[in-house]
Amino acid sequence: MLTAVSKFRNKSGLASTTRVMPFFLSTSATATATPLCPPPSPYPSPHFRLPSPPRRGLAFLAASAPQRDLFPTPRQAMASLATSTAAAAAAEVTHLSQRDAADIDEQLMGPLGFSVDQLMELAGLSVATAVAEVYKLSEHTRVLIICGPGNNGGDGLVAARHLYHFGYKPFVCYPKRTAKPLYSGLVTQLESLAIPFVPVEDLPQDLSGQYDIVIDAMFGFSFHGTPRPPFDDLIQMLVSLSVVGDSAKRPPIVSVDIPSGWHVEEGDVSGGGIKPDMLVSLTAPKLCAKKFTGPHHFLGGRFVPPPISSKYGLELPPYPGTSMCVRIGKVPSVDISSLRENYISPELLENQVMPNPFDQFRTWFDEAVTAGLREPNAMALTTVNKAGKPSSRMVLLKGVDKQGFVWYTNYGSQKAHDLSENSNAALLFYWNEMNRQVILPTACATG
């Protein structure tokens, strides 16, 4: 049986999970022999040696499990997770003094041939991507960016532009504009996107009602002394915001490079400063970042060339893939019950589904591939042994035709063993980005 399912909201606004179009089709016309599933021609016959899966408790599967059908040990799987998130312990990461941060800046923009515009663009992009990684657009749309007079403020202006293009709705408070072409150009770019510039006096004393994120781009590593007006009041506004008890009821504060007002090396000396929820350190964390206790610490500014790394002995986590930011420190524990998604996909009605379930599957599958989903052929396979004990794992679809869905396994695997005892199995494709899933409770055939 093939069941096509799409998550949707019905017209009454009530969330509904299924408007089901069930199809019945046999994937087991030739189901006979055991043990099962050597792959049918023309597919090659892969044979993987598998260690026995753990018999009790959780099986930790590495992300590559679908391809290789491996059961890594929990320790291996956790190591893989740690690498992929590059969750380097903060203590192992180099923290820069104020002097070294300024020196590095000078060298980048001197002998190493960078321009300030370039570095600022990359810094601002890092901030925007880190924010988007943590605060999903669906729940945090309105972003207030408070920009200071120097390059930290410039990073904020650049981040505002990128956030706009990511779909957020930025508002910029930029009270002390610097009369240099770089800054006026950034302002013109934001004006051309109709991004509102909010005067300080128009900001509500309590920012909670109007904004979903507040980005603090007031001061970076050149800050010294105590903040002068109007930044003293702006910082106080963020201090009041950060003392609101329930962090879910107020906009999170994201500080760019340094929590504004903090001593660049000593941190929040008075104890009465901003307590950001997120810090995006640029190039390398400054010494004050050791005092940061919020849940999200990221590194951005993916432009450090080897001469700088070696001269300053920089120990920095690797950036994953093509990402412009990387998390530093441990991943915060999540309240699972608070995770939710508002599905706003179009309805799926029975009369919109193709009469032939294989055609419907093929259409959806091709759409998933075209949309660039990662491993759209990954599917959960559930088998049941003769004692009725079910087990699931991810495998890769290797073919589909009117006879059914094909995947490979070897005779020694647990799934092969289960299927030799009990031909009942289920397949589930889940294409999250498209709000679609396809469920196939079925019987399995030998290939």
Ligand X SMILES: NC(=O)C1=CN([C@@H]2O[C@H](COP(=O)(O)OP(=O)(O)OC[C@H]3O[C@@H](n4cnc5c(N)ncnc54)[C@H](O)[C@@H]3O)[C@@H](O)[C@H]2O)[C@H](O)CC1
User: For residues 83-142, which are near ligand X according to CB under 6 A?
Assistant: 104-105, 108, 119-120, 123
* Residue nearer to ligand X on the CB measure, 233 or 433: 233
110 annotated to bind ligand: no
Q: Minimum Å distance from CB 302 to ligand X?
A: 11
Give the number of other Cβ atoms within 10 Å of residue 11's Cβ: 6
Q: Is the CB of 256 or the CB of 289 nearer to ligand X? A: 256
Partner from K ion, ligand X, none contacting 323, C-beta within 5 to 8 A by type: none
CB closer to ligand X, 305 vs 390: 305
CA distance 445 to 30: 6
The 140-169 contact track toward ligand X, x by CB under 6 A, reads --------xxxxx-xx--------------
Flag whether 225 is marked binding: yes
446 has binding-site annotation: no
**CB of 74 vs K ion, minimal distance in Å:** 40
In single-letter form, the type of residue at position 287 comes to L
Q: Which residues, 6 or more positions from 61, have their beta carbon under 8 angstroms from its beta carbon?
A: 70, 71, 72, 77, 393, 394
Taking CB atoms, the residue at the shortest distance from ligand X is 220
Tell me the pairing of strands 378-384 and 424-431.
Answer: antiparallel
End-to-end CA distance of the chain: 18
We find the least distance from the C-beta atom of residue 296 to ligand X, in angstroms, to be 17
Among 67, 189, 210, 222, binds ligand X (CB under 6 A): 222
CA 122 to each of CA 118, 129, 148, 276, 412: distance values in angstroms, whole numbers, following the listed order: 6, 10, 18, 22, 51
Supply 240's token pair.
Answer: 């009041």
Contact between 255 and K ion per CB under 5 A: yes
Per-residue binder mask for K ion (CB under 5 A), 143-182, x = binder = ----------------------------------------
Where does 202-341 show beta strands of DSSP type E?
213-217, 253-256, 278-282, 296-300, 325-328
- Phi then psi dihedrals of residue 61, to 5 deg: -110, 130
| Binding-site annotation, residues for K(+) | 152, 216, 260
Residues that constitute the known binding site: 151-155, 216, 220-226, 257, 260
